[in-house]
A and B are shown apart, each in its own frame.
Chain A
Amino acid sequence: MTAVTEFAVAAFIVIGAAFLFVGSLGLATLPDTMRRLHAPTKATTLGIGALLIASMLYFVLLNGSLGIHEILITLFLFLTAPATALMIAKAYIFRHRATQKQLPPSANETGWATLTKPR
């Protein structure tokens, strides 16, 4: 590996670590659950993404083989992060009376799925 590629790999690792740190910081410092939910779903995605790009780059340059697993990790992350966030939000709305009062009405006034009995 030349100095340039090593620098590129290192840069991606540092960028990834920085975004992961910011995501965790947001999770710790934002004031309520709904706002906290924004930090791990977004800042963390780019952090992991940058780390995976670094890993792919490193292994391509080291043994010339493209890692497919990194792409799959990204795919699974994009599939699971929104599902987890949705379940946490639903649980929070279900348990938190003050939040339930703030909710806007749904489009056809049928109410939100978490708060209505299934028919």
Chain B
Amino acid sequence: MRKRFIPHPLLTCVLALVWVLLVNDFSLANFVFGLLLGLAVAKLTSIYRPERSKIRNPLAIAEYFAVVLWDILVSNVQVAYLILFRRGDSLKSTFITVPLALTHPEAIATLAGTITMTPGTVSADLSADGRSLLVHCLDTDDPDATVSAIKSRYESRLSRIFE
């Protein structure tokens, strides 16, 4: 019963919060309307999310956020440097395969998004069985080092949050 009408309680709460912030008016009426919207959206899209995602470790999320924000800052400066001071065709760009230990769709989506936002890498595709990510590096001398950096820096933290 509960699972049928509230398939994703967490998603509903987040949507309600975003609604209140969007309206920028912290009244009870707004919050109730946001909750109703969140319930409706979670219910209507639940066919695309058969599994309920569990967050095991909320503190790890804060740590992950800080790490990713710092990396976004660093990557911006690095990519700006590459654009301004290197000739485009001298960049050693290559595709790499990142085998995944994560299995949750939400965790993999978060990892793919993080890879795109951080130093010199863009996630380009997922393998047909969903067990590896195709990543494009802008400028790398050692593809294997990039793969292990992604795995140790982001994937291990995400697996602590999601699984």
User: A residues engaging B (CB < 8 A)?
Assistant: 19, 22-23, 25-26, 29-32, 34-35, 37-39, 41-43, 45-46, 68-69, 71-72, 75, 78-79, 81-83, 85-86, 89-90, 93, 102-108, 110-114, 116
Count contacts on B: residues with CB < 8 A to the other chain: 43
Chain B, residues 48-88, CB within 8 Å of chain A (1/0): the string is: 00000000000000000000000011011101100110001
Shortest Cβ distance from residue B140 to the other chain A in the assembled complex, whole angstroms: 12
13 contacts between A and B (CB under 8 A): A39-B79, A41-B122, A42-B75, A75-B18, A82-B112, A83-B113, A85-B122, A90-B124, A104-B96, A106-B129, A107-B131, A108-B131, A116-B128
Pair B127/A111 contact, Cβ less than 8 Å = yes
Q: Which residues of A contact B130 (CB under 8 A)?
A: 113
CB <8 Å contact, B18 and A82: no
B117 to chain A, nearest CB (A): 6
Closest chain A CB from B27 CB (angstroms): 14
Please measure, in the bound complex, the distance between the C-alpha atom of A53 and the C-alpha atom of B89, giving whole angstroms: 35
The answer for the CA separation of A89 and B95 in the assembled complex, in Å, is 12
